[in-house]
Amino acid sequence: MSDIKIRFAEIKDTPQLADMLCKFHDYFNAQLGDNLDPLPDRETLESDIMRLHFSDNPMLQTLIAQSADGRAVGRLSFYRGWASSWYLRFHLSGIFVPDEFRGQGIADKLFERLIEIAKEEKAKKIVWNLWRPNKKARKFYERMGGEYLAKGSPSEGDANDDLVMQYRVRK
């Protein structure tokens, strides 16, 4: 899928964002044996997306990977914050590509666009939490240049522990 366009989400994308959040929830719920809290009803979910992304003071921004036919085939959400040493850093909230679109470089394009935005805004780091048992995601982030913040092996520890990773933004 080489005709992928990466762009910021717009209000019109709310239904597709909700669809991807449902797929993301289902994916992790299957991994955890149906132990996740249920998602709210569709109307509440879309209302929450609108409030978090498109209000006067949005908490999140989302990048959409859009196919040539206009379908959303991936998303990456992030927010900005400040480190205690007073530098700007981005917090990766989530990245998701539905099963049927995986293996086509879409996640790479989303992450690379986030790096470009971080460089443009002079952020020093991108940080994120990662569910320890998610080996595919760990390999992806390692390949993209992610580093672990905690000492020890990513395979050690409680499966419920999150790993903390970072990407150092280079000029």
Here the CATH number for the domain that contains residue 133 is 3.40.630.30
Alpha-carbon separation of residue 138 from 59, 113, 150, 152 (angstroms): 26, 19, 14, 14
Cα 117–Cα 119–Cα 120 angle in degrees, nearest 5: 65
Using the predicted structure, report yes or no on whether residue 8 has a pLDDT greater than 70. yes
59-117 pLDDT, tens digit per residue, is 999 999 999 999 999 999 999 988 776 788 999 999 999 989 999 999 999 999 999 99
Give the pLDDT band of residue 157 (cuts 50, 70, 90).
low
Torsion of CA 99, 116, 133, 155, to 10 degrees: 140
Predicted model pTM: 0.88
Collapse the DSSP code of 135 into the 3-class scheme (helix H, G, I; strand E, B; otherwise coil) and give the result: helix
Interstrand relation of 147-148 and 125-131 (parallel, antiparallel or unpaired): unpaired
What does the pLDDT read at residue 134?
Answer: 83
DSSP states of 58-97: -S-EEEEEE-TTS-EEEEEEEEEEE-TTS-EEEEEEEEE-
More confident residue, 26 or 4: 4
Question: What residue numbers bound the domain in which 35 lies?
Answer: 5-168
Whole-number Å distance between alpha carbons of 19 and 13: 10
Number of domains in the chain: 1
Residues 135-155 pLDDT 10s? 888 999 999 999 998 655 555
Query: pLDDT band at 125, cuts 50/70/90?
Result: very high
